[in-house]
Protein backbone atom coordinates (compact mmCIF):
# COMPACT_ATOMS: atom_id res chain seq x y z
CA UNK A 1 0.00 0.00 0.00
CA UNK A 2 1.06 3.55 -0.50
CA UNK A 3 1.72 4.62 3.05
CA UNK A 4 0.25 8.09 2.69
CA UNK A 5 -2.81 7.24 0.71
CA UNK A 6 -5.15 5.57 3.15
CA UNK A 7 -8.74 6.13 2.02
CA UNK A 8 -10.55 4.54 4.92
CA UNK A 9 -8.54 3.56 7.88
CA UNK A 10 -6.73 4.35 11.05
CA UNK A 11 -3.31 5.82 11.66
CA UNK A 12 -1.86 5.44 15.13
CA UNK A 13 0.76 8.15 15.41
CA UNK A 14 3.33 9.32 17.96
CA UNK A 15 3.87 5.84 19.36
CA UNK A 16 6.97 5.74 21.53
CA UNK A 17 9.79 4.35 19.40
CA UNK A 18 10.02 0.61 19.99
CA UNK A 19 6.42 0.18 21.12
CA UNK A 20 4.95 -0.32 17.65
CA UNK A 21 5.41 -4.09 17.49
CA UNK A 22 4.09 -4.54 21.01
CA UNK A 23 0.96 -2.56 20.15
CA UNK A 24 0.54 -4.62 17.01
CA UNK A 25 0.48 -7.72 19.19
CA UNK A 26 -1.77 -6.53 22.02
CA UNK A 27 -4.28 -5.08 19.56
CA UNK A 28 -4.37 -8.43 17.73
CA UNK A 29 -3.63 -6.78 14.38
CA UNK A 30 -2.13 -9.99 13.00
CA UNK A 31 -5.68 -11.31 12.77
CA UNK A 32 -6.73 -8.62 10.29
CA UNK A 33 -7.16 -9.33 6.60
CA UNK A 34 -6.54 -5.75 5.55
CA UNK A 35 -3.17 -4.12 5.02
CA UNK A 36 -1.27 -3.01 8.07
CA UNK A 37 1.99 -1.10 8.02
CA UNK A 38 4.31 -0.55 10.93
CA UNK A 39 6.80 2.22 10.53
CA UNK A 40 9.61 2.10 12.99
CA UNK A 41 11.82 4.97 14.08
CA UNK A 42 10.12 7.61 11.98
CA UNK A 43 11.45 11.08 12.57
CA UNK A 44 9.45 13.20 14.92
CA UNK A 45 10.05 16.82 15.80
CA UNK A 46 8.40 16.31 19.15
CA UNK A 47 9.88 12.98 20.16
CA UNK A 48 13.03 12.50 18.11
CA UNK A 49 11.88 9.08 16.98
CA UNK A 50 8.47 7.47 16.92
CA UNK A 51 6.63 4.46 15.58
CA UNK A 52 3.51 4.66 13.44
CA UNK A 53 0.92 2.01 12.63
CA UNK A 54 -1.31 2.37 9.60
CA UNK A 55 -4.34 0.18 9.19
CA UNK A 56 -6.07 0.21 5.84
CA UNK A 57 -9.53 -0.41 7.25
CA UNK A 58 -11.89 1.20 9.76
CA UNK A 59 -11.66 -1.50 12.38
CA UNK A 60 -12.92 -1.24 15.94
CA UNK A 61 -9.92 -0.40 18.00
CA UNK A 62 -9.67 -0.94 21.72
CA UNK A 63 -8.86 2.55 22.96
CA UNK A 64 -8.39 1.30 26.51
CA UNK A 65 -5.58 -0.95 25.36
CA UNK A 66 -4.04 1.88 23.37
CA UNK A 67 -4.25 4.31 26.25
CA UNK A 68 -2.76 1.78 28.62
CA UNK A 69 0.21 0.94 26.43
CA UNK A 70 1.03 4.51 25.49
CA UNK A 71 -1.18 7.42 26.45
CA UNK A 72 0.97 9.85 24.47
CA UNK A 73 -0.10 8.59 21.09
CA UNK A 74 -2.74 9.97 18.77
CA UNK A 75 -5.26 8.08 16.69
CA UNK A 76 -6.27 9.52 13.34
CA UNK A 77 -9.40 8.22 11.72
CA UNK A 78 -9.61 8.67 7.97
CA UNK A 79 -12.78 8.35 5.94
CA UNK A 80 -12.92 8.84 2.18
CA UNK A 81 -9.41 10.23 2.27
CA UNK A 82 -10.31 12.90 4.83
CA UNK A 83 -9.12 13.05 8.41
CA UNK A 84 -12.39 13.04 10.34
CA UNK A 85 -11.16 12.51 13.86
CA UNK A 86 -7.99 12.97 15.82
CA UNK A 87 -8.06 11.40 19.23
CA UNK A 88 -5.66 11.84 22.10
CA UNK A 89 -5.68 9.17 24.73
CA UNK A 90 -5.83 8.99 28.48
CA UNK A 91 -4.95 6.20 30.83
CA UNK A 92 -8.08 4.05 31.10
CA UNK A 93 -9.66 3.52 34.53
CA UNK A 94 -9.65 -0.21 34.02
CA UNK A 95 -8.11 -2.73 31.68
CA UNK A 96 -9.46 -6.21 31.11
CA UNK A 97 -7.39 -9.11 29.80
CA UNK A 98 -4.53 -6.99 28.54
CA UNK A 99 -1.95 -8.01 31.10
CA UNK A 100 -1.87 -10.88 33.56
CA UNK A 101 -1.34 -10.77 37.29
CA UNK A 102 2.10 -12.06 38.15
CA UNK A 103 1.29 -13.00 41.75
CA UNK A 104 1.32 -16.83 41.91
CA UNK A 105 -1.08 -16.74 44.86
CA UNK A 106 -3.57 -14.49 43.06
CA UNK A 107 -6.98 -16.08 42.51
CA UNK A 108 -6.58 -15.52 38.75
CA UNK A 109 -3.79 -18.09 38.63
CA UNK A 110 -6.08 -20.66 40.29
CA UNK A 111 -9.35 -19.78 38.62
CA UNK A 112 -8.24 -19.77 35.02
CA UNK A 113 -11.57 -18.49 33.66
CA UNK A 114 -11.50 -15.27 35.67
CA UNK A 115 -10.83 -12.14 33.63
CA UNK A 116 -7.59 -10.34 34.44
CA UNK A 117 -8.69 -6.91 35.57
CA UNK A 118 -6.42 -4.09 36.62
CA UNK A 119 -7.55 -0.74 37.97
CA UNK A 120 -5.78 2.58 37.73
CA UNK A 121 -4.90 3.50 41.31
CA UNK A 122 -2.59 6.44 40.70
CA UNK A 123 -3.22 8.46 37.56
CA UNK A 124 -0.22 10.71 38.01
CA UNK A 125 2.23 7.84 38.23
CA UNK A 126 0.23 5.53 35.98
CA UNK A 127 0.01 2.75 38.54
CA UNK A 128 -2.28 -0.19 37.88
CA UNK A 129 -3.17 -2.84 40.44
CA UNK A 130 -4.86 -6.21 40.17
CA UNK A 131 -8.44 -5.89 41.49
CA UNK A 132 -8.19 -9.27 43.24
CA UNK A 133 -4.88 -9.12 45.08
CA UNK A 134 -3.73 -5.52 44.54
CA UNK A 135 -0.42 -6.61 43.05
CA UNK A 136 1.06 -3.75 41.07
CA UNK A 137 1.34 -4.24 37.33
CA UNK A 138 4.82 -3.89 35.96
CA UNK A 139 5.57 -0.61 34.30
CA UNK A 140 4.91 -0.40 30.64
Instruction: Pick from 57, 74, 103, 121 the residue near Zn ion by CB under 5 A.
Output: 103
DSSP one-letter string for the chain: --TT--SSEEEEEEEETT-HHHHHHHTTGGG-SS-EEEEEEEEETTTEEEEEEEESS-----HHHHHHH-TT-EEEEEETTEEEEEEE----SEEESSS----TTSHHHHSTTS--EEEEEETTTTEEEETTT-PBPPP-
d(CA 124, CA 133): 22
Choice between 47 and 103, CB closer to Zn ion:
103
Of 11-19, 41-49, 94-102, 121-129, which segment contacts Zn ion by CB under 5 A?
94-102
Q: How open is the CA angle 74-77-80, to the nearest 5 degrees?
A: 155
Residue 78 in the binding site for Zn ion (CB under 5 A): no
Instruction: Pick from 10, 55, 69, 130 the residue near Zn ion by CB under 5 A.
Output: 130
Of 2-10, 26-34, 117-125, 128-136, which segment contacts Zn ion by CB under 5 A?
128-136
Instruction: Pick from 75, 106, 120, 137 the residue near Zn ion by CB under 5 A.
Output: 106
* Number of residues lying near Zn ion (CB under 5 A): 7
Q: Interface residues for Zn ion in 34-73 (CB under 5 A)?
A: none
Q: How many beta carbons lie within 10 A of that of residue 32, not counting itself?
A: 13
Instruction: Pick from 3, 21, 32, 133 the residue near Zn ion by CB under 5 A.
Output: 133
Query: Least Å distance between CB 116 and Zn ion?
Result: 8
Residue 132 in the binding site for Zn ion (CB under 5 A): yes
User: In the complex, which residues of this chain contact Zn ion (CB under 5 A)?
Assistant: 101, 103, 106, 130, 132-133, 135
Amino acid sequence: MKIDSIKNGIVIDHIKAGKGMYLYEVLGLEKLDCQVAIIKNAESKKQGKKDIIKIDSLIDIDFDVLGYVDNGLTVNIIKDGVLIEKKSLELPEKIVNVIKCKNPRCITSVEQELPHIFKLTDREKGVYRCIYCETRAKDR
